């Protein structure tokens, strides 16, 4: 459970950066070499490598080396876990909103019962 929270924390931290969000977007369309990934970013390679390292440590991507080429690919499980956590929070919140709405409806019904039903009585 504590481990699960640590993984989730690492994934959210990895996503808390526009460059890393963009890398996730590119890798969603398929694996890519580090040099192809880095090309569109106006950033020194060591800085870019740090972003890849944060993503890899969080489990959002993985990389492998063949000869002199390092290739990165997305690990969709990590993103799916973060999405599930958010969906769980939404479910809790929506269940509460439903209970509030049912309660408001019951109050409204009770008011209708206790209010004078026939307006002619007031005349």
User: CA 78, CA 64: separation in Å to the nearest integer?
Assistant: 18
Give the residue from 2, 18, 5, 7 showing the smallest Cα distance to 77: 7
- Cβ nearer to its own copies, comparing 92 with 118: 92
**The token pair that represents 98 in the structure block:** 């439903």
x/- letters, 17..36, toward its own copies (CB under 8 A): xx--x--xx--xxx------
Backbone phi and psi for residue 90, each to the nearest 5 degrees, phi listed first:
-65, -40
Site map for its own copies, 77-96, x if CB under 8 A? --xx-xx-xxx-xx-xx--x
Q: Which helix (H) or strand (E) holds 66?
A: strand 61-66
Say whether residue 6 binds its own copies (CB under 8 A).
yes
Q: Does 74 bind its own copies (CB under 8 A)?
A: yes
Choice between 84 and 109, CB closer to its own copies: 84
């Amino acid at each position: 459970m504590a481990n699960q929270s640590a993984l989730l924390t690492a994934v959210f931290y990895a996503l808390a950066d526009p460059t890393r969000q963009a890398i996730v977007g590119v890798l969603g369309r398929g694996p890519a070499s580090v040099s192809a990934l880095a090309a569109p970013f106006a950033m020194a390679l060591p800085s870019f490598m740090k972003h890849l390292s944060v993503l890899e440590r969080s489990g959002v991507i993985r990389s492998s080396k063949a000869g002199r080429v390092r290739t990165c690919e997305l690990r969709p499980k990590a993103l799916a876990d973060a999405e599930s956590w958010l969906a769980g929070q939404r479910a809790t919140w929506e269940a509460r909103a439903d209970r509030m709405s049912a309660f408001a409806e019951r109050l409204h019904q009770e008011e209708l019962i206790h209010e004078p039903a026939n307006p002619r009585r007031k005349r």
